[in-house]
Structure 1
Amino acid sequence: MAVPGREADLPTLARHLVEHGPVKTLRTERRVRILINGACVADTLGTTGALFVWEHEYYPQLYFPRSALVKNVQGYDIVYEDHQDVKGDHDQIIANTLKVKVTRKADNNMKEVKDGFIVFSDGLAGKASELSGMLKVQFSAADQWLEEDTPMFVHPKDPFKRIDVLQSTRGVKVAVNGKTVAETSTCMQLYEGELPIRYYMPLTAIDNSILRPSETRTQCPYKGEAEYYDVVVGDKTYKDIVWYYTRPITECAAIAGLYCFYNEKVDMWIQNGDDWEKLGQEKSIFS
């Protein structure tokens, strides 16, 4: 079964999807391509199009028609080899994995992907019927994914999901282990689906003496790459509970250079008129 944030073993994933079906699917007309070793090895242009497939409930992956595989690219030798048959119930072959070799002729540089491609068999029935003849590529198996001409990062964006960033003059206070560590009279509120509201504030709103730079970096397809701080209160260190984006994706440009605490891991209050309302430590996949 697919788990958010972790790439599944492809044969195991195929058996799960054929038996149980994906959570949902959606056809898309956007052009989708992947690059390996500088060559485009899959392109939906001129095919029936890509398919959003929710392997779990949180976000989709993009599957290709088998016909999207590109065999001829100038300056390259591209070889696709059947690697492993995947069997389901009653020894029926439900998919096969491919080994892909991409060689750049100019310098004979070759890149091989052994475990990143799987093609579902034709004629699948029931819940898996929409996967018939479709190609799944592990997101990490390609050097670059493109939607039209726009690079994708981490995983495809959910077409049903949006992020709203709203300016607010409602004050926000944050405490860690009983110590007030941040207070601001203005913030940017970020709404992202079912996740808790995030409150982004200026660095000057935070007691900088409690911040310690962290080497942690994470990427989000909707916001960009985040950098982190640990927080030290007394003799205790709270790992990676503050983050910020120096160069967020365009849709979230308003949070650039602002700082945010994990609601789930601190005590937080928001101003409600003359009163302060304590926010609950909501549970999320980051709790």
Structure 2
Amino acid sequence: MPKPVTKAIFPVAGLGTRFLPATKSVPKEIMTLVDRPLIQYAIDEARAAGIEEFIFVTARGKSALEDYFDHSPELERALEEKGKDDLLAALRNTYMESGQIAYIRQHKAMGLGDAVRCGRRLIGDEPFAVILPDDVIAAEEPCLKQMVEAHAETGGSLVAAMEVPTEKTSAYGILDTDGAEGACVRVRGMVEKPKENPPSNLAVIGRYILSPAVMDHLDETQKGTGGEIQLTDAIAREIELGAPVHGFRFKGQRYDCGSKAGFLQATVAFGLDRPDLRDELREFLADIVAVQAAAQ
């Protein structure tokens, strides 16, 4: 039986250049989606999956991200005095206990594979999760929880996957599978951002459960696509050695909050899902559509 997955790596060292000038002073990961920063969605998903140790791979300029998880006694006391229990509960949900969280610096931007490799000393010989906060997944059962349950059956490595239009496969890591239907499919190979002839239209999304052997492969991996150390190359090495690697078709809607369009789409979708916001937001959106239709 596979060891339980209790550790997760959060690669958050990126510069967030697509959101400049906002990210000049605000780390992208604490930009707010409705009223929670992106990183909080990732943390909540990890907690729901049973993650107990949170490893953040950061870089210079990310101090605001680290401060976000600190306790705030003055604010807590003010909310208590005003009887704002709902806000107080939301505030306390952002706290991370001492020993639960670790920060590791990635000194050079050398790709996702290098960012994951930075956490190897804290991973040891245990399977671990990797969560990319840019990928926000709305699901009845959190995506990583779905994956942890599947991993208990499959062992090895498991990557979240979804079908994308063939013309967009060049933007993703693409799986070469055995063609089976169902949630879990055996992976025969992986290609990072294929320029032509993709092996399928099943794309890797920012959730992984990985064998500790992947860390060894990352040490041996040469720079690949984009001149970076690619995590997909290290996972592909697992496949070459005959270790089990599966793609997991999760149940849920993924939003690419690393892009402006995706961030806006997620904001609208999550706003419409909120009982306290949906009526006013729906009315506003209907008015916008009506005005644009009349103008045409």
TM-score (norm: length of structure 1): 0.27
- Relative to its length, the structure with more strand (as a share) is 1
- Relative to its length, the structure with more helix (as a share) is 2
